[in-house]
């Protein structure tokens, strides 16, 4: 199973596009669609040069596909493409380590249709300990996509 356009589009919508490096709310150097690393493994630095939208799309596809593969390794229950899209967008934002130890993942592995999963998405709306409206909106969108039955 692979991400669909809905997965990439959700990430793009909430990460936004920047052709120049910037510091995200957590203080990490970021470029493109929320990327902190380039496909070759080099960490983004605030002094890096400008990139094109096409290259940003390449970085996103590479990184999101890696995240999706890692999500699939951790998810032990049968999930839909929309559930993969939502979980990948979530992990892309919070990091695989946080996803791996999350109650969200535990609930998905017990019962991927558990309504409590929606509340678990919403618990992850802070950066550097501060609640952010943008993250709350993102979690609502991820949860909505997660529970969308049709592709």
Residues tagged active-site: 15
Locate 109 and state its tokens.
């592995």
DSSP letter, residue 147: T
44: closest CA among 58, 59, 57, 64? 59
Alpha helices in the chain (DSSP H): 5-15, 53-74, 81-94, 96-100, 103-110, 116-122, 133-146
* Residue in 150, 147, 9, 13 with CA at minimum distance from that of residue 83: 147
């Amino acid at each position: 199973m692979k991400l669909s356009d809905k997965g990439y589009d959700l990430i793009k919508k909430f990460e936004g596009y920047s052709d120049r490096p910037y510091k995200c709310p957590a203080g990490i150097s970021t470029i493109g669609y929320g990327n902190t690393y380039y496909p070759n493994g080099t960490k983004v630095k605030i002094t890096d040069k400008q990139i094109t939208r096409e290259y940003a799309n390449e970085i996103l596809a590479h990184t999101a596909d890696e995240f999706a593969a890692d999500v699939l390794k951790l998810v032990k229950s049968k999930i839909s493409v929309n559930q993969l899209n939502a979980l990948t967008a979530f992990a892309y934002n919070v990091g695989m380590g946080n996803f791996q130890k999350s109650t969200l993942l535990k609930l998905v592995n017990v019962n991927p249709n558990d309504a409590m999963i929606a509340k678990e998405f919403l618990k992850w709306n802070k950066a550097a300990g501060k609640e952010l409206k943008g993250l709350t909106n993102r979690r609502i969108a991820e949860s909505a996509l997660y529970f969308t039955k049709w592709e």
